[in-house]
Amino acid sequence: MRSQESNEAMPRILIIDDDDQIRSMLRQFLEMKGYDVDDADDGNVGIARYRQNPADLVITDVLMPGKEGIETIRDLRRDFPAVKIIAISGGGQLGPETYLHLAEALGAHKIFTKPFALNEFLQGVEDVLEAC
């Protein structure tokens, strides 16, 4: 990750999750690590925010009301092929693994099952930002 003391802007991250607590926790954690963070509570709002101010990384929940994460990933990939994406999920009728593997097949660079360890999640964020 880039040093906070350099003059380079820190990467911008967009979090899309309908769970206010998860969204707030991730936002606070990533801001503490020096990232510029925006958030949205569903895929429609998230895509609109991305269009207005593209992020270096999009973190999206997979299961949400409205435009859910699979559609969001598909639409972001279609309109912004270079977008970096991390998908997160805590469940659903088929279990999180099924949805996360679908997200990966649609172009998510990394996947995480909720709950996840924040240090592992941070490493995933850093890996995606550096590798892609």
The residue extents of the domains of the chain are 12-131
| Whole-number Å distance between alpha carbons of 30 and 132 | 19
pLDDT digits (tens, 9 = 90+) for 34-92: 999 999 999 999 999 999 999 999 999 999 988 999 999 999 999 999 999 999 998 76
pLDDT-derived band of residue 96, with 50, 70 and 90 as boundaries? Answer: low
pLDDT-derived band of residue 5, with 50, 70 and 90 as boundaries? Answer: very low
Q: Quick check: 1 pLDDT over 50?
A: no
pLDDT digits (tens, 9 = 90+) for 106-118: 999 999 999 999 9
| Whole-number Å distance between alpha carbons of 76 and 72 | 6
pTM here is: 0.90
The pLDDT, as a whole number, for residue 4 is 43
| Whole-number Å distance between alpha carbons of 92 and 23 | 18
Please state which CATH number belongs to domain 12-131: 3.40.50.2300
